[in-house]
Amino acid sequence: MLRRGRPGYDQQGILEVAVAAFNEYGYDATSMGVLADRLGLSKSAIYHHFTSKDEILERALDQALGSLEGVLDEAGAATGTAADRLDHVLRGAVRVLVEQLPYVTLLLRVRGNTDVERRALARRRAFDKRVTALVAEAQAEGTLRSDIDVRVVERLLFGMINSIVEWYRPGGREDADRLADDVVAVALDGLRVPTS
């Protein structure tokens, strides 16, 4: 296989450095010149892999969104009660967040300023809708409490999950599985010990 570009940076390697820079300085403030400096490459070497900065952003957001959508397409999201499937989806979303922390962080900062960003937000909304539908199904089958609006449930659940990007640091005491257990314990089973 022909490896393009300078040794040490394939397309994914450039993407990783670019995403870190976007998260640190902001997308707008990160020029292709800044990226080239961080990579120790010429701008034309980057253009060999990506046609524009916008395309780098698009690829990065696609990676985060594709991973989240992938969770909904896993077998565990298709078998069992709707509550069990939601359990699987919440765990999967935490796992994606931890494993792809910089990519999900970038996704969560998108505000819809460009076409690429607006398409990413539309995909994110479609993902949220599928989760909301799962919550509605679980409420209808009687496995989840039905006294809370399904959209509020979905927002609170992903508010909790997404907030993890604010404080989670790889290599800390909480690994992805432990954190997924914690989130599911709070969200589905609650913190309170039943009194009776």
- Rg of the chain (C-alpha set): 19
- To a copy of itself, the closest distance from the beta carbon of 59 in angstroms equals 25
- To a copy of itself, the closest distance from the beta carbon of 38 in angstroms equals 21
Report helix angle 11-25 to 101-109, nearest 10.
Answer: 50
Q: Cα dihedral angle (105, 168, 9, 38), rounded to 10 degrees? A: 80
Span of 1-9, 52-60, 115-123, 159-167 interacting with a copy of itself by CB under 8 A: 159-167
Residues in 161-190 that interact with a copy of itself by CB under 8 A: 161-164, 166-167, 173-174, 179, 182-183, 185-190
Identify whether the C-beta of residue 46 lies closer than 8 Å to the C-beta of residue 32. yes
Span of 2-10, 45-53, 61-69, 158-166 interacting with a copy of itself by CB under 8 A: 158-166
Interface with a copy of itself (CB under 8 A), residue from 1, 2, 75, 193: 193
35 closest CA partner among 26, 46, 24, 50: 46
Span of 38-46, 69-77, 113-121, 154-162 interacting with a copy of itself by CB under 8 A: 154-162
What is the phi/psi pair of residue 145, to 5°? Answer: -55, 140
Pull the structure tokens for residue 118: 């607006």
| Distance, CA of 68 to CA of 92 (rounded, Å) | 8
Residue span 58-77 as binding mask against a copy of itself, x where in contact by CB under 8 A, dash where not: --------------------
**Counting contacts by CB under 8 A, is residue 29 touching a copy of itself?**
no
Measured CA distances, 32 to 16, 111, 147, 168 (Å) = 14, 21, 50, 29
**Counting contacts by CB under 8 A, is residue 128 touching a copy of itself?**
no
- To a copy of itself, the closest distance from the beta carbon of 122 in angstroms equals 16
List of residues contacting a copy of itself (CB under 8 A): 83, 142-145, 147-149, 152-153, 155-164, 166-167, 173-174, 179, 182-183, 185-193, 195
